[in-house]
Structure formats: C-alpha cells, structure tokens
Amino acid sequence: MKKPILFLLAIAFSGLVLIGASSPDRYTELQIFAKVLNIVQKYYVDEVDTKKLLQGAIKGMLSELDPHTNYLAPQIYKEFESETSGEFGGLGIEITIQNGYLTVISPIEDTPAWKAGIKAGDRIVEINGESTKGLSLAEAANLMRGKRGSPVKLKVRREGDDEPKLFAIKRGRVKVKSVKYTDLDSGYAYIRLTSFIENSGKDFGKAIKNHIAKHKKVSGLIIDLRRNPGGLLDQAVQISDLFLDKGVIVSTIGRNKKEKEVIFAKKSGAYSNFPIIVLINEFSASASEILAGALQDNKRALVMGRRSFGKGSVQSVVKLGDGSGLKMTVARYYTPNGISIQAQGIQPDIVVEDIDPEALEKAVIHKRVRREQDIKNHLAAENQDGAGHSEDYARPFLQMRALFKNKKKLSKSEKLLSTDYQVLQAFNYLRAVAANRQ
C-alpha cells in the first residue's frame, strides 16, 4: 500500500519541478529565493548554518498549507514511525492547531498526560517556558518528547478558568492499550477504543470472540469512540468490516476530483445479527469518524453523543533522502453517503450530553423546583407513587447511583453504568432496540 503512494507522490513532485522550470514566473521566484539565500550567506552579521536556513524555508512554505502538513526533521520522523506501533516515549496526547492555538484533541488513557489531568480541549500556550505561538505540530510534539523520567512543564488554558494552569509531568514510556472490553451481562458488551494503532482491529475482533465464547451470543454492543483521536486508517476499515457484509466503508478524493478511491466491505466474516450503538463526542477524530460514519451510513449502528471533531483529511508521509520526512495532506475522506467529514464531523442520530454525575445529583437534590407535593399538608395524589422530584431524563441514572452507593464493591459494569451518563443512555437504547428485534 505504501509503495504505490510514495511512487505517485514522487511523480507528482517531479511534475512540479518540471512545471516550475517551464514557468517564467516560478523560475523568477526561485531565482529570488536563491539570491536571498546567497546574500544572507555572504553578508549576514554572523556565520549562518545553511542547512538550518533551508529547513526554515521549507517549514515556512508548509505553514501556508493546512496544519496537518509538516516537515519532520530526522529525529522527529524516526519517533513518528514508532508511534503507530503503540509504544513510544513522551506524554501521550494528541494535538492539533485550532483557531491558532495548540489544542489537545485527547489525552491517551493511562498515559502520563492523562494521569496528570490534561483534558481534551486544553490549549497549550507554553512548553517549558517557550511560547507555542507559531510552532508547527511536529515542532510542538518534539518539545514534549524527551528522556523517560525527565520533567516537562505545560502551561495550559482551560475553558472556564480565569488563569492558565501549570502542569509538571514526567515523561514516560507510553504503551497504548487501544481496546478495552467490559461485560455488561446478559450478552451485552461494551468496547472502548482509545485509538487506532497496529493490532487494534485484531484485538477488537478477539474481544468479540471472547464475549461470544462466554455468552454464546452478542445481545448488543456499545462501541465507545469518545476522545479517540484516530490513528491508522486500515484499522478503522478492519473494524468496520467486522460488522458490514456489503457496501462502502470510506472513500477518498485527492487533488484530481475525477479519481476516487473507494474501500468496500468484504462479504465474509461479518457480525450482522445484533444491534450496535456507537458513542462519539467532539474529540472523536479522523479514524474514529470513519468507523462511525461507515456504520451510520450503512444503517448498521445508531450513533449517539455529540458531533465529532471533523478531521476528514488524509495524510501521506514521504521519507526524504537525509532521514527527514514530509507529512502532507493528499486527500479528503468521505462517508459511504458521500459526505465530507472535514470541518463537519459526524452528526449523531441521537444527541446525548455528557453530564457530570456529581453535579447532576446536587442540581436535582439541592436545587430542585418546588412542586405541589413539596407544600406542607398538600392533598395526596390519587395514585401516589412517591416519585417525582428529579427530572425524567435523569431519574434512572440517579436511581442506579443510589442503588449502587450501598454496595461495598461494584463490578466493572456497575461502576461504568453508574458513573457515565452517556454510556447508561446508550445501554438503555441498546436494550430497547434489542427488545424490538425479538
């Protein structure tokens, strides 16, 4: 897969060189660049490093393009290659440039950044005292990398806070476990995907098989893609293919609008006989959106949560002669219905807000609206059932939390359902859909 892409890009670059040579305007601009470089080399007050100047020129050129197109210096390129294996050194956060700010898409679960309290949506304004303004994604990532155990200081602006927060985090070995399974009992399964790395598809399939071995069936499945920043396209395709026996999974269109690459579902090995709920939020990006879009457009799953991030562009990485690399946006993703994900995201079928359970309890118990039944000596209702202070949408969640509070030890599924409102709502819908199928 990689060789043809690199070959095509090489042809494209060759074409640009030829066009540049035959165009008088571009030839003049190249002459001006060469002249400026020559003047700086001869007359600048100090000796200059020509290699640094040329790398700076490349970075400046690429900064005029989208934020996902970057020059990767040799060391950065080497570390970039290791990240997709699921084990690397650093903090464990996915970043992007949003409205001119270096912004956290998502901290990867169980990594140093996650444990330190870095949250999706945080704006990183300084790294070790150095302003992030004007830095490319690759440069910012390089500043956050370092020797295991060494500290890095991030100054972060968080929505709702008056002052920026300073986080001192020790770098560590980031080993990502991308597939996390929870048995919800009665044949229902919950699988959280934290990212798409090598073996995510294989591990996901293994979780399904183990669940079937235990219950002899899958009554229903929740796929949780919230805060999943994406990763490898082929893993998103592989997981989509587990549940689709026909139809388009995703398509890409590059510069030539007439050339469209379409990936279809295979006809064998699909789990097509149980309902699926996919959970997304505003920090579900890239490969997460491909998976959600594929299952949604093919009517294979109901998507719940909040509108996703909207990162619908395709990057290809070209290794350059000196060990450096060029990461460049070469196409856009489209869902099976031909909808571009870019800057639009996936719109859920059912919007479910993320509610803090502690805040919800306080709002309902301590700040509830007074009703007739709260007045002393009120007339009793003819069918008095004692219920009614909490809002209808919140009552099942609060009742479950109250029930579990009396238990000394909660099971994994009980803890999940009593602390995550969106998961509980997804589970309720899943059971309703499953009941209607019977």
Distances (CA, A) of 267 to 236, 248, 296, 342, 425: 17, 12, 18, 29, 32
Instruction: Report whether 138 contacts 153 (CB < 8 A).
Output: no
CA distances from 187 to 55, 241, 392, 395 (A): 56, 22, 28, 25
The H or E element that residue 59 is part of is: helix 50-62
Q: Which residues of 71-100 are buried (b: 16+ CB within 10 A; e: fewer)?
A: bbbeebbebbeebeebebbbbbbbbbbeee
- Separation between Cα atoms, residue 70 and residue 61, nearest integer Å: 10
Question: Rounded distance, CA 283 to CA 332, Å?
Answer: 19
Which of 224, 241, 297, 420 does the annotation list as catalytic? 297
Judge whether 311 counts as a catalytic residue: yes
Q: What is the DSSP string of 164-184?
A: -EEEEEE-EEEE---EEEEE-
- For the question of residue 180 being annotated catalytic, the response is no
Q: Is 82 a catalytic residue?
A: no
Structure tokens at 239: 């997981």
Q: What is the largest CA-CA distance in the chain?
A: 96
Structural tokens at position 206: 């293994």
Which of 106, 178, 195, 286 is the catalytic position?
286
The active-site residue, picked from 308, 311, 313, 420, is 311
Residue 435 burial class via C-beta count within 10 angstroms: exposed 0-12, middle 13-18, buried 19 and up:
exposed
For residue 110, the tally of other CB atoms under 10 A from its CB is 14
As a whole number of angstroms, the distance between CA 26 and CA 150 comes to 47
List the structure tokens of 164.
Answer: 């920026």
Q: State the Cα–Cα distance between residues 368 and 24, nearest whole angstrom.
A: 74
- Residues tagged active-site: 286, 297, 311
